[in-house]
Structure 1
């Protein structure tokens, strides 16, 4: 096992940002065997292989007729001094993560889905807390999954469950009376990665999957003050304009950029290179398209022009893109327009067409209801807006159980833009007197007014994106006429900061007239969007914190 200063350059780990103290990460790389962890039963079904991991050595499980998998470390058969065990409440934050590749999961010869659950168990209290990292299914490529949380929290954080007692109403698992989340984390005797929900039974299942880089990051809480930033113009395909729409945990960016013929093309920016994703229109090599959402494992979603089915011309169709499939039309042959706005690592795509939809390769396009599905998190929770019982407002749809949670407005209506792993949602809401407010909706339904950027003559615009640390980016609007009517901001711990003012180099800062539309932010605090650079109204930008220690980004660029 390796103990090192954070950061892991190419791994999608939440919670990498730490200024007050360097975060420490324990990583099981399998280079030296199990390194304190144990394989699921039967042990013979899992082998350590030297190549093919993420990267290098990894654990390969090929279990036949198994009822569940449990990879674990404990203080009974494992090392008592394992950094995964003990009192975690001495830390302000924890991030648990693992990389997984699923080749197949089958029940009775048919494809099946199984959860990936992390458990922290306290034998003294006979209790545990658990979190669903993802849903595993056939053919999932190497993907890094993680969850960040406060081990000192007394209440269960969003998405977490507990065991040790039975709910008197539902019969489901709950923490024992008087036992808190922090109580369990204060004395962890075992950590388990499981393919089985507590109290759930499954048919005998054949698993063929690989795991690598089991890791635990401990450190201080994310800072309440913003970092200083550098900024990169992502360029174009030879034209003038470009927009950056989203960024994943590896620093890959989705967007649209012009070529020399002023055709707007969907792109993936990665490793310092801009890549054209193709088109749904077979009549042209290059045609209009926009890449909007990008998942942590590199899936993309957006829209492209497709042939109109009943005559000449084209119509916009939503697409899904991966390295294996290329660009896939989500509604082939339809005469109706559709747009995909986001995608997660399970390949769930959300967007709008004849109402809000969710799409998977298995089920195709399924209607959620009227309006638009704007965003989806790694748990499959969809945030959108449209007609609700109270008028026009926001909602959160849980794709796992089909339940809908409606979000209150500030009086008249709301629109939604993004959702984080904790189920917190951002966007804007209109008050009874028709004033817009940028807002954050908590899971309990309470609304946080994000305020106004501290710049004279500006009023609230829209909150566009939120990361898992509750950092929010958006824009506010000038109250009058201006050549630069929008100004971007970063909101942290109750305060908005002028985004342009966070650029450290004054010469570079002056070259950007405005960072008008920040549209995405990841857990490292990297921000993408649209700005005005060197007099050009519409350039794709990427902002990177410069205070992160020992960071190597995906394109090989190192901090000074």
Structure 2
């Protein structure tokens, strides 16, 4: 009867002795990893970790020790050299990575009239690097900033959007402006970016590729400029807005039309310019507060990377300096951290400055990956199938300590639709009704509970986590909702 499904695994073996995790409103500790570089042995060069997927794999670039750059995928502690276009290996960088480990980015290529230009690429393991828009009538240069699991891509210049089924297009912004950038997209093909208006005003926007509609997020009364960066699968977007004054703050534009302006100056009196870089499905946001001007090495004016957990629900929003979440040895190694993305497991990637290497040719630039020391209790086991509201999203929150609250919410399913919540103590991954049944709901210990979505396609469950649940127990949950747009309804 289905076909919008979403699943979530709950490894309760992690229950004992844990006080907080990245899905709670508390900030736990992190281990920070320098992803390394591919410079020759005995030397080092700059790196940058730009994008992360739900597996914790990172799209990045590394210096080659000679002034050039190499696009790489950081996976399981190793840097994988992505090479270049067939017959070319001139240099480039990785920008985004999906959950299939396809990487988007830019690679240098010879320009027909001489010299070189950057061209967008998508890299697939076993197939190598290709330019998805190589058949464009004009010789188009740029960067492929991100790629989702459906192979859709966005490009930072000229409002580029690519769908494997329909090809490349330049998004039509109408009267919004004539120069535009697309930064990120989610699994439903919703795009975030900015366009320059006739007066030079920068307007943040949300573009829905399924309906070919664009929404200008810039508040004409409050905001002089704004830009929309990273977004989640719910449609919430992180970015910044420069208010008339001026005062720039990090902003979250929620999918339901609200504008959440994050505090600025709460981490340091001199950091008066804020930017929100990315938001995950739990509402956790990463960003940077900075001082808009030279600071001559004065640490009081250093940019401060931060994270705030469940920003879309917290009141007030509390930001945490990333360097306060790592151990003293890491604080001594890293001078500053600029986070770019955070996944649903709370893992954060970005660009840092290593204290010992500031005076070298790279300026101390090092890509980093931050991993929570308290692993997530909740882990995604499969992607949802699209329905009338796009891809449904299942999110759970709580520490799973006995006597504490645990919440599970289903979003973006079909409105006012019947269905089932299926629970199991193991996974089966069995084909069913055009989808995949994940939990062993029909085996011992399994349960099938009827459910009904509300008027906007949501289900919210709140309970208290009981005492006495044994360790080494996995509980797998999955919703199956009737949906006219599903594979079999």
TM-score normalised by L of structure 1: 0.57
1:311-322 equivalence runs, <5 A: 311-322=113-124
Query: Out of 136, 150, 153, which is 1:349 matched to?
Result: 153
Of residues 33, 37, 40 in structure 2, which corresponds to 1:236? 37
> What SS does the aligned partner of 1:489 have?
strand
1:425 equivalent among 232, 237, 241: 237
CA distance in 2, matches of 1:358, 1:304: 18
Match of 1:206 in 2: none
Kept in 2, the 8 Å contact 1:281–1:306? The answer is: no
Please give the alpha-carbon distance, in whole angstroms, between the structure 1 residues aligned to 2:235 and 2:45: 37
Pair 1:489 & 2:294 matched: no
The residue aligned with 1:51 is none
Unpaired stretches in structure 2, ≥5 consecutive residues: 13-20, 173-178, 358-363, 380-489
Cross-structure match for 1:544:
371
For each residue in 1:283-335, what CA deviation from the matched residue of structure 2 results, as whole angstroms up to 9, or x when unmatched?
x43x22111111122121111112212x2211111111212432111333743
SS at match of 1:249: coil
Change (3 A) 1:221 1:546: closer
Change (3 A) 1:307 1:467: same
Paired with 2:377 and 2:234, the residues of 1 have a C-alpha distance of 28
Selected match of 2:97 from 273, 294, 308? 294
Shift in CA distance, 225/320, structure 1 to aligned 2, threshold 3 Å = same
Q: Residues 190-246 of structure 1, C-alpha deviation per residue, up to 9 Å, x if partnerless?
A: xxxxxxxxxxxxxxxxxxxxxxxx655499993111111111110000231100001
**Over aligned residue pairs, what C-alpha RMSD do you find?**
2.6
Deviates further, 417-426 or 447-456: 447-456
Change (3 A) 1:253 1:546: same
1:519 alignment partner in structure 2: 340
CA contact (8 A) 2:30 2:370 kept: yes
Contact 2:22 2:345 in 1 (8 A): no
Do the aligned partners of 1:302 and 1:342 also contact (CA within 8 Å) in 2? yes
TM-score, normalised to structure 2's length?
0.65
Q: 1:221 to 1:271 in 2, by over 3 A?
A: closer
Partner of 1:185: none
The 5-angstrom pairing of residues 58-457 of structure 1 reads 70=1, 117-118=4-5, 146=6, 217=10, 222-238=23-39, 239-280=44-85, 282=87, 284-285=88-89, 287-309=90-112, 311-332=113-134, 334-353=138-157, 355-369=158-172, 370-387=179-196, 392-409=202-219, 410-452=222-264, 453-457=266-270
**CA 1:262–1:477 in 2, change beyond 3 Å: closer, same or farther?**
same
Find the aligned partners of 1:221 and 1:307 in 2 and give their Cα distance. 45
Give, in angstroms, the shift of residue 479 of structure 1: 5.6
Q: Deviations over 1:24-56 (max 9, x none)?
A: xxxxxxxxxxxxxxxxxxxxxxxxxxxxxxxxx
Unaligned runs of 5+ in 1: 1-69, 72-115, 119-145, 147-213, 553-560
Once residues 329 and 27 of structure 2 are traced to their aligned partners in structure 1, the CA distance between those partners, rounded to angstroms, is 20
- CA displacement at 1:459 relative to structure 2: 1.2
Alpha-carbon deviation of 1:269? 0.5
1:535 corresponds in structure 2 to: 356
- Matching of residue 501 in structure 1 with residue 324 in structure 2: yes
SS state at 1:510 partner: helix
Q: Quick one: distance in 2 between partners of 1:260 and 1:477?
A: 30
| SS of corresponding position for 2:272 | strand
**8 Å contact 1:258–1:264 — kept in the other structure?**
yes
Map of 1:142 onto structure 2: none
CA distance in structure 1 between the aligned counterparts of 2:292 and 2:22, rounded to whole angstroms: 36
Aligned with 2:45: secondary structure? strand
1:489/1:498 contact within 8 Å kept: yes
Partner Cα distance (2:102, 2:198) in 1: 34
For 1:240, what is the secondary structure of its paired residue?
coil
Cα 1:464/1:375, change in 2 over 3 Å:
same
Deviation at residue 264 of structure 1 after TM alignment: 0.8
For 2:365 and 2:108, locate their aligned partners in 1 and report how far apart those are by CA, in whole Å. Answer: 22
Q: Is structure 2 residue 278 aligned with structure 1 residue 465?
A: yes
Equivalent residue, structure 2, for 1:152? none
- The CA deviation at 1:551 is 10
Structure-1 separation of matches of 2:217 and 2:11? 34
In 2, distance between residues paired with 1:338 and 1:260? 24
CA distance in 1, matches of 2:237, 2:376: 30
* SS in structure 2 of the partner of residue 476 of structure 1: strand
* Matches of 2:67 and 2:198, distance apart in 1: 44
d(CA) in 2 for partners of 1:320 and 1:512?
31
Residues 381-432 of structure 1, C-alpha deviations (whole Å, 9 max, x = no match): 1111104699531111111121222213332111111111111111111111
Q: Matched residues in 2 for 1:277 and 1:479: separation?
A: 36
Using a 3 Å threshold, how does the CA distance of structure 1 residues 322 and 449 change in structure 2: closer, same or farther?
same
Judge conservation of contact 1:350–1:358 (CA < 8 Å) in 2. yes
Q: Secondary structure of the residue that 2:24 maps to in structure 1? A: coil
